């Protein structure tokens, strides 16, 4: 018996929103055989209701859809869906990739997509939210007193001046990793390896986008950040003196 494969046999629910019948069949068959209960939806407008009603463990969301595009679907469901969203985008849709991450997508994969690469991203996202053992599952709380910031790993929550700030799964994991290792410089490759288990490919901008969004949410001056600093040529760090 293949124990590595069986470890995913909790049958996590996954909704694939894709209007290309050939691609949706290829993806759903491949992932379904590897321990996921995959449902397919072709229309973006119908997908909004299904995501909010069914609350799948994960959503794979194509960008170009009939009825409603993927960006609008992502924006609408984020008010009532906290699960990870993985977007499918074309190679020339760099702007859409950035916007997708800013409005609540957790990750993206470019087309043409290899099923094994997509599966690796899906498993990484599932691990992050605790479906197979949360990566950050202790009850530590980090306070940045002079900023009124509280980062609670047990609740997986960021609070600013007592108010909860909504973060995606990927944004919280990045913030916790940096803040819980304040003063440590993480390169893009180390961030990718630690958070997704995949190497940095040299062109992926998702980490930079998440850092930019975290700075905005933390009221950290992007020109002279006091919390999440850029170390030129090396990576990012959370300033130790602030914790």
Please list the pLDDT of the chain residue by residue as tens digits (243 residues).
343 333 444 468 999 999 999 999 999 999 988 888 899 999 999 999 999 999 999 999 999 999 999 999 999 998 889 889 999 987 565 656 667 777 788 888 888 888 888 988 888 888 776 543 333 344 488 888 677 888 988 788 898 888 888 888 888 989 999 998 888 999 999 998 888 777 888 877 888 888 999 999 999 998 899 999 999 889 999 997 533
3-state secondary structure of 144: strand
Shared domain check, 74 and 23? yes
Q: Is residue 150 part of a domain?
A: yes
Shared domain check, 180 and 82? no
Range of the domain at 35: 3-128
CA pair distance 239, 228, nearest whole angstrom: 6
Report pLDDT for 1.
Answer: 37
Shared domain check, 117 and 10? yes
Shared domain check, 124 and 20? yes
Shared domain check, 184 and 110? no
Q: Is residue 110 part of a domain?
A: yes
Looking at residue 32, which CATH number applies to its domain? 3.40.50.2300
Shared domain check, 167 and 116? no
Report pLDDT for 28.
Answer: 92
Report pLDDT for 72.
Answer: 94
Report pLDDT for 8.
Answer: 40
Please report, for residues 38, 129, 151, 201, the alpha-carbon distance to residue 207 in angstroms, rounded to integers and kept in the order given. Answer: 28, 18, 19, 12
Q: Is residue 133 part of a domain?
A: no
Query: Which are the contacts of 180, defined by CB distance < 8 A and separation ≥ 6?
Result: 136, 140, 142, 153
CA pair distance 139, 6, nearest whole angstrom: 29
CA pair distance 216, 127, nearest whole angstrom: 26
Shared domain check, 149 and 92? no
Report pLDDT for 92.
Answer: 60
Q: Where are the beta strands (DSSP E) in 75-205?
A: 85-90, 107-111, 141-144, 149-152, 157-160, 163-165
In the listed set 128, 159, 194, which residue is the last one of a domain according to the structure? 128
Number of domains comprising the chain:
2
Please report, for residues 167, 176, 182, 241, the alpha-carbon distance to residue 140 in angstroms, rounded to integers and kept in the order given. Answer: 18, 10, 14, 18
Shared domain check, 165 and 117? no
- In our burial notation (b when 16+ CB lie closer than 10 A, e otherwise), range 170-188 reads bbbbbbbbbbbebeeebeb
In the listed set 79, 100, 128, which residue is the last one of a domain according to the structure? 128
Report pLDDT for 134.
Answer: 36
pTM higher than 0.75 for the full model? Answer: no
């Amino acid at each position: 018996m293949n124990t590595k494969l069986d470890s995913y046999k909790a049958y996590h629910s996954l909704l694939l929103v894709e209007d290309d019948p050939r691609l949706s069949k290829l993806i759903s068959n491949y992932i379904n055989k590897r321990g996921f209960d995959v449902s397919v939806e072709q229309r973006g407008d119908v997908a909004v209701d299904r995501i909010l009603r069914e609350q799948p463990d994960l959503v794979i969301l194509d960008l170009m859809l009939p009825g409603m595009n993927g960006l609008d679907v992502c924006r609408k469901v984020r008010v009532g869906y906290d699960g990870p969203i993985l977007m499918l985008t074309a190679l020339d849709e760099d702007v859409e990739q950035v916007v997708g991450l800013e409005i609540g997508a957790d990750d993206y994969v470019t087309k043409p997509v290899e099923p094994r690469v997509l599966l690796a991203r899906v498993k990484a996202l599932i691990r992050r939210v605790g479906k197979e053992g949360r990566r950050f599952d202790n009850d530590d709380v980090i306070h940045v007193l002079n900023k009124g910031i509280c980062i609670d790993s047990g609740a997986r929550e960021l609070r600013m001046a007592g108010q909860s700030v909504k973060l995606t799964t990927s944004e919280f994991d990045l913030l916790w990793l940096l803040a819980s290792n304040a003063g440590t410089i993480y390169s893009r490759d180390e961030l990718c390896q630690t958070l997704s288990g995949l190497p940095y490919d040299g062109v992926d901008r998702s980490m930079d986008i998440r850092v930019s969004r975290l700075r905005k949410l933390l009221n950290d001056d992007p020109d002279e950040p006091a919390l999440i600093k850029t170390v030129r040529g090396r990576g990012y760090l959370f300033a130790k003196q602030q914790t």
